[in-house]
Amino acid sequence: MFQLKKSSIKPYIYLLPVMSILIFVFTLGLGISILQSLGYHPGIGLYEVTLDYYREVFQSAGFFSGLIFSLRVSMISTVIAAVIGVSLAYLLVMQKKDYRGLQALLKLPIIVPHLVAAFLIFTLFSQSGMIARLGVLLGIIEESRDFPALIFDSQGIGIILAYVWKGTPFIFLIVYQVLRSIEQDMVEAARNLGARGSDVFFWIFLPLSLPSVFSTFIILFAFSFGSYEIPFLLGPTTPRALPVLAYIEYTNPDWTNRPYAMAMNMVLAGISVMLVWLYHWVFKRYQHHRKGR
């Protein structure tokens, strides 16, 4: 009895030091942000708690176009990354050989910082970039200005390219490990019963890897939705992504603008929390559904 009790508390005791810091930093940061978004910031002489900042943020013209831009760009880039990442993982797992070199190469973008990724995409795809120059050299386009505007474009193609380049290997890495751990017996049994490659993918691999695909999807989406450097460097001036708008307000030398930045951050955080909740909900339904069958 005592033994059982001890082992069940033990992990919590071990984790206590780390968790106390994590929770402390997290709740403190979030709490301060909420207070500042409501206009309470004694450090710069704001004391009145009000919803005015939210109201003004919601009424400003740039806010909704920025929000929609951020949602759209993150959604498109994450979907593309997921499709390519899962397909690659499936293709590689079906091979007899391991292709370690190829795997290592695929993992490379994960360790490259986002800033560097933005630079790479810029050097390759801008109108004075390497691909445009190559096009001129080969006579495909007349002037480098004829190259389509992929960077700083209002569709956010440059941002999407950067996020896909960073995100695909991440999804690949996770899903590949999951797919590899699936018993080969199951695949062989299915094949014996006449399943084709696509059947194996859709009826064995996909259902078994779906939870991890979905969770990595949420991680990637939330990251690209909330991060500012890539949309700042590769995005258009209008619409500006929501994190960029928040950053600009935050860096305004007039500190009484700080609550606007925090109100936008709260919107970003709120949507991310909703996503995590959605994830749990879908995941529960999914497990329930599978058990029910």
Partner 1 sequence: MSIIWDNAMKKMSSTKKTLLIGMILLMTMFLFMACAGEEEETLDLETMTWEEILEEAEGSEVRFYGWGGDQAINDWMNGFVAEQMMEKYDITLEWVPMNIDEILNKLQGEKQAAARGTADMIWINGENFFTAKSNDLLYGPFTEMLPNFNNYVNSEDVEVKYDFGYPTEGYEAPFGKTQFVMIYDQEQTPNPPTNHEALLSYAKAHPGEITFPAPPDFTGSVFVRNIIYDIVGHEQFLDMEAEKEVVREAIAPAMEYFKELKPYLWREGETYPATLAQLENMYADGEVRMVMAYNSNLVSQRISSGMFPETSTSVIFDKGTVGNGHFIGVPFNSYNRVGALVVINEILSPEVQASKYNPDNWGDLPVLDNDKLREEDREIFERVELGEGALPQDVLLENRLPEVPAPLVPIIDQIWMENLLD
By CB under 8 A, is residue 27 in contact with partner 1? no
Strand partners, 46: 41
Is 239 within 8 Å of 66 (Cβ atoms)? yes
Contact range with partner 1 by CB under 8 A, out of 176-184, 254-262, 263-271, 284-292: 254-262
Distance in Å, CB of 122 to partner 1, minimum: 8
Q: With contact defined as beta carbons under 8 Å apart, do 200 and 265 qualify?
A: no
Nearer to partner 1, 85 or 235 (CB): 235
Q: Tell me the two tokens of residue 248.
A: 């600009």
Near partner 1 by CB under 8 A: residue from 52, 252, 277, 290: 252
Residue in the block written with tokens 């979905």: 214
Kindly identify the residues of this chain, within the stretch 59-78, that bind partner 1 according to CB under 8 A: 60-62
Region from 196-204, 244-252, 265-273, 274-282 binding partner 1, contact rule CB under 8 A: 244-252
Nearer to partner 1, 73 or 93 (CB): 73
Give the nearer residue to partner 1 in terms of CB position, either 127 or 215.
127
Q: Which of 87, 212, 215, 257 binds partner 1 (CB under 8 A)?
A: 257
236 counts as binding partner 1 under rule CB under 8 A: yes
Distance CA 39, CA 256 (A): 9
**Site residue total, partner 1 (CB under 8 A):** 37
Q: In this structure, which amino acid lies at residue 61?
A: A
| Least Å from the CB of residue 92 to partner 1 | 26
Residues 141-180, one symbol each (x = binds partner 1 by CB under 8 A, - = not), give: ---xx---x--xxx--------------------------
Shortest distance in whole angstroms from residue 134 CB to partner 1: 14
The DSSP line for 95-159 is: SSS--HHHHHHHHHHHHS-HHHHHHHHHHHHSTTSHHHHHHHHTTSSSSGGGS---SS-TT-HHH
By the 8 A CB rule, do 88 and 230 touch? no
CB neighbours (10 Å) of residue 173?
A: 16
- Residue 284 corresponds to which tokens in the numbers above? 């529960």
State yes or no: residue 21 binds partner 1 (CB under 8 A): yes
> Interface with partner 1 includes 211 (CB under 8 A)?
no
Nearer to partner 1, 200 or 264 (CB): 264
Q: Which residues, including other chains, have CB under 8 Å from residue 292's CB and lie 6 or more apart?
A: none
SS3 annotation, 95-108: CCCCCHHHHHHHHH
Is 119 a residue that touches partner 1 (CB under 8 A)?
no
- Kindly report whether the peptide bond that precedes residue 239 is cis, defined as omega within 30 degrees of 0: yes
Residue ranges in contact with partner 1 by CB under 8 A: 7-8, 11, 14-15, 17-18, 20-21, 43-44, 60-62, 127-128, 144-145, 149, 152-154, 232-233, 235-238, 240, 248, 250-255, 257
